[in-house]
């Protein structure tokens, strides 16, 4: 582990963005349960002591959000849009500082952190516009004296639980449509990355967000907060991003009140290279998909299937490119490609998948199952000879491991790609038009990238099928998750 310390405040143009308190009802508050430590995964040192809220304090935040929501919903869409637009402008004006805070607490390189700030802000920009376009309907009556109206109204208080891997974007991808729709919002960020969330709240306050409309409850106990969100009837919508395992827990807890839920869960993305693909483009796409955030994204390529005719060429070129990726501390060096893993346990899982594959005949052509780098840094690995009985064929690696499977024909690879409980993202490279249509239609996934390894954008509906989730985030569909439809039957 590097023996450096992180003087994060000294690195910021605006040190007031480094906020260790929770934000509730327009107030910055301490935690009844004291504080919890946030560490820099690249250096291992403590970068902040953050308010540790009790369940009672979370309940109070929900009360404050409930009290603020009715008035916020009375604002016109245009008035809400103006606040959201100001929030967007302030986030982009502070993009570099927010990137440094994210790199310090999550580890991703500065190019990715500042990229995520812009990606996260894009949801606020997009839904600021959607706030003006929440349209209802008038439907021709079923009888001469009947008039039918359909109203769209905000669901009320929305609450989010989000993971450490995208500390800003996973919050704004939920909060932006919720606030645009006229909901109030209570965000519970991951204990590993609360500082990005409190910095968002600093800027929301500066943007003129009314007290109680946007709240950030920081806590070391995720299960207690989850129970409060699920058991408190004032919370009308729960929106979660994280593992399928935790998604199941939350859905079971929310079932008692039949609470409206959105779930963005785990994935196991296949990345398929056909023999008519542009192999060089496919290699670049695999790098982008597999090694973004050091493989710690739910849409990372988890299995790479390469048709026999181009398998050796692809493997050699991928090995050459991956060996050039630079591992390092994003706060110390500018040209870093791969930061640290979030925790030592995250490294254990990657090593476990490598060892499992080796025990079943896989060949490690780059990297190893040994943790021979500093601290939470782990060298990327490539395995050839991957087969469907290996752990990563069913489990999400969530780290820098690229297993290469060889296949012969399209029907076989589609069957292998679909042989999973997950259905979030998938990718394939091919040129033949009939093949592109066939594969895009037959892959059982919510997202299909064709000749691209990057699919994340605010304008498209992001979400999974099967056990990768419920609902969609982003695009004009995203606001529907925070609206109720009311049918009014008028007898005139
Ligand atoms: N589909 C998607 O968009 C995404 C899916 N994921 C998936 O999540 C996993 C990696 O992220 P990771 O953070 O480890 O996932 P987890 O599901 O462990 O954690 C996600 C969030 O849920 C919280 N949490 C954990 N247990 C509970 C509980 N019992 N009740 C309420 N909240 C709880 C965590 O809090 P804390 O950490 O503070 O304990 C964290 O804030 C992978 O499977 C990945 O695929 C991740 C990001 C995006
Ligand atoms: O948490 C994740 O992995 C994100 O949902 C992936 S993305 O939206 O940044 O692509």
Domain of 361, CATH number, reads: 3.40.309.10
The atom of ligand 2 lying closest to the CA of 264 is 5
User: What is the largest distance, in Å, between two alpha-carbon atoms of the chain?
Assistant: 79
Query: Is residue 56 within 8 Å of 227, Cβ to Cβ?
Result: no
Q: How far is CA 275 from CA 23, 282, 313, in A?
A: 54, 11, 10
276 in any annotated domain: yes
Domain shared by 182 and 329, yes or no: no
Q: Average pLDDT, stretch 97-120?
A: 98
As a whole number, the mean pLDDT across the chain is: 97
The atom of ligand 2 lying closest to the CA of 298 is 3
Query: Is residue 230 within 8 Å of 250, Cβ to Cβ?
Result: yes
Domain shared by 211 and 240, yes or no: yes
Question: Where does the pLDDT of residue 486 fall: very low under 50, low under 70, confident under 90, or very high at 90 and above?
Answer: very high
Question: Where does the pLDDT of residue 5 fall: very low under 50, low under 70, confident under 90, or very high at 90 and above?
Answer: confident
2 in any annotated domain: no
460 in any annotated domain: no
Ligand 2 pocket, Cβ-based, cut-off 6 angstroms: 165-166, 169-170, 241, 264, 297-299, 456, 462
Q: Among residues 302, 306, 244, which one has the least CA distance to residue 269?
A: 302
202 in any annotated domain: yes
Q: What is the pLDDT of residue 3?
A: 52
- Which residues are part of the catalytic machinery? 264
| Ligand approaching nearest to the C-alpha of 58 | 1
CA distance 171 to 482: 14
Domain shared by 433 and 476, yes or no: no
Domain shared by 55 and 203, yes or no: yes
Most ligand 1 atoms within 8 A of CB, residue of 173, 242, 348 to mutate = 242
Question: Where does the pLDDT of residue 117 fall: very low under 50, low under 70, confident under 90, or very high at 90 and above?
Answer: very high
CA distance 125 to 100: 22
Is 8's pLDDT higher than 90? Answer: yes
Give distance in angstroms: CA of 241 to centre of ligand 1. 6
The atom of ligand 2 lying closest to the CA of 163 is 1
252-266: pLDDT as tens digits = 999 999 999 999 999
Domain shared by 385 and 241, yes or no: no
398 CB near ligand 1 (under 6 Å): yes
Q: Could you list the residue range(s) of the whole structural domain that residue 39 is in?
A: 8-265+468-490
Domain of 169, CATH number, reads: 3.40.605.10
Domain shared by 181 and 78, yes or no: yes
123 CB near ligand 1 (under 6 Å): no
Structure tokens at 236: 């009308």
The residues, any chain, with a CB within 8 Å of residue 312's CB and separated by 6 or more, are none
Q: Average pLDDT, stretch 270-283?
A: 98
Q: What is the pLDDT of residue 67?
A: 98
311-326: pLDDT as tens digits = 999 999 999 999 999 9
Phi and psi torsions of 46, nearest 5°: -80, 125
Is 2's pLDDT higher than 90? Answer: no
Of all residues in the chain, what percent carry a pLDDT higher than 90?
A: 98
DSSP 75: S
The residues, any chain, with a CB within 8 Å of residue 223's CB and separated by 6 or more, are none
Q: What is the pLDDT of residue 289?
A: 98
Query: Is residue 180 within 8 Å of 84, Cβ to Cβ?
Result: yes
Phi and psi torsions of 219, nearest 5°: -160, 145
Most ligand 1 atoms within 8 A of CB, residue of 22, 39, 163, 290 to mutate = 163
Q: Average pLDDT, stretch 259-277?
A: 98
Is-above-0.80 flag for pTM? yes
164 CB near ligand 1 (under 6 Å): yes
Domain shared by 154 and 257, yes or no: yes
Q: 395-431: buried (b, 16+ CB within 10 Å) or exposed (e) per residue?
A: bbbbbbbbbbbbbeebeebbebbbebebbbbbbbbbe
36-52: pLDDT as tens digits = 999 999 999 999 999 99
Domain shared by 349 and 479, yes or no: no
Number of domains making up the chain: 2
458 in any annotated domain: no
Structure tokens at 387: 């087969």
Give distance in angstroms: CA of 244 to centre of ligand 1. 8
Question: Where does the pLDDT of residue 65 fall: very low under 50, low under 70, confident under 90, or very high at 90 and above?
Answer: very high
Domain shared by 318 and 249, yes or no: no
- CA angle in degrees (0–180, nearest 5) for 473-107-15: 90
CA 455: distance to chain centroid? 13
Give distance in angstroms: CA of 52 to centre of ligand 2. 26
456 in any annotated domain: no
Can you tell me the ipTM of this complex?
0.93
CA distance 140 to 242: 43
- Residue written as tokens 């483009």? 281
Domain shared by 431 and 304, yes or no: yes
Structure tokens at 213: 């409309």
CA distance 284 to 305: 15
Q: What is the pLDDT of residue 1?
A: 46
355-410: pLDDT as tens digits = 999 999 999 999 999 988 888 999 999 999 999 999 999 999 999 999 999 999 99
Q: Among residues 260, 256, 187, which one has the least CA distance to residue 218?
A: 187
Of all residues in the chain, what percent carry a pLDDT higher than 70?
A: 99
Domain shared by 326 and 280, yes or no: yes
Domain shared by 78 and 13, yes or no: yes
Query: Is residue 106 within 8 Å of 116, Cβ to Cβ?
Result: no
Phi and psi torsions of 483, nearest 5°: -125, 145
Query: Is residue 470 within 8 Å of 225, Cβ to Cβ?
Result: no
Question: Where does the pLDDT of residue 462 fall: very low under 50, low under 70, confident under 90, or very high at 90 and above?
Answer: very high
463 in any annotated domain: no
Is 4's pLDDT higher than 90? Answer: no
379 in any annotated domain: yes
């Amino acid at each position: 582990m590097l023996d450096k310390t992180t003087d994060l405040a000294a690195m910021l143009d605006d040190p007031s963005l480094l906020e260790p308190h929770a934000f509730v009802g327009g107030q910055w508050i301490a935690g009844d349960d004291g504080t919890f430590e946030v560490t820099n995964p690249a250096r291992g040192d403590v970068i902040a002591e953050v308010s540790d809220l009790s369940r009672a304090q979370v309940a109070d935040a929900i009360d404050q959000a409930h009290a603020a929501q009715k008035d916020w919903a009375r604002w016109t869409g245009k008035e809400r849009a103006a606040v959201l637009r100001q929030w967007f402008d302030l986030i982009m004006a502070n993009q570099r500082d927010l990137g440094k805070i994210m790199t310090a607490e999550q580890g991703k390189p500065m190019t990715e952190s500042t990229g995520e700030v812009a990606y996260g802000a894009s949801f606020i920009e997009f839904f600021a516009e959607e706030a003006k376009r929440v349209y209802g309907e008038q439907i021709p009556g079923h009888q001469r004296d009947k008039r039918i109206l359909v109203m769209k109204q905000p669901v009320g208080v929305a609450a989010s639980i989000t993971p450490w891997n995208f500390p800003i974007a996973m919050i704004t991808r939920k909060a932006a449509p919720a606030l645009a729709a006229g909901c109030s919002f209570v965000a519970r960020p991951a204990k590993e990355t609360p500082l990005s969330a409190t910095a968002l709240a600093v800027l929301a306050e500066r943007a003129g967000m009314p007290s109680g409309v946007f709240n950030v409850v920081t806590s070391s106990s995720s299960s207690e907060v989850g129970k409060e969100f699920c058991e408190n009837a004032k919370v009308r919508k729960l929106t979660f991003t994280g593992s399928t395992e935790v998604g199941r827990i939350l859905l079971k807890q929310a079932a008692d009140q039949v609470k409206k839920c959105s779930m963005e869960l785990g994935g196991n993305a296949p990345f398929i290279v056909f023999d008519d693909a542009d192999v060089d483009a496919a290699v670049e796409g695999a790098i982008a998909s597999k090694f973004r955030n050091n493989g710690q994204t739910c849409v990372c390529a988890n299995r790479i299937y390469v048709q026999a005719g181009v398998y050796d060429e692809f493997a050699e070129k991928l090995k050459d490119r991956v060996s050039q990726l630079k591992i390092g501390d994003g706060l110390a060096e500018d040209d870093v490609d791969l930061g640290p893993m979030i925790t030592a346990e995250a490294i254990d899982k990657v090593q476990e998948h490598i060892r499992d594959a080796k025990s079943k005949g896989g060949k490690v052509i780059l990297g190893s199952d040994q943790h021979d780098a500093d601290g939470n840094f782990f060298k990327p690995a490539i395995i050839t000879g991957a087969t469907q009985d290996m752990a990563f064929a069913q489990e999400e690696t969530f780290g820098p491991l690229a297993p290469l499977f060889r296949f012969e024909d399209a029907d076989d690879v589609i069957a292998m790609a679909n042989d999973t409980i997950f259905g979030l993202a998938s990718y394939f490279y091919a040129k033949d038009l009939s093949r592109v249509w066939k594969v895009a239609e037959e892959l059982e996934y919510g997202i299909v990238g064709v000749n691209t390894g990057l699919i994340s954008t605010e304008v498209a509906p992001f979400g999974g099928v099967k056990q990768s989730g419920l609902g969609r985030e982003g695009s004009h569909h995203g606001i529907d998750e925070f609206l109720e439809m009311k049918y009014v039957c008028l007898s005139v």
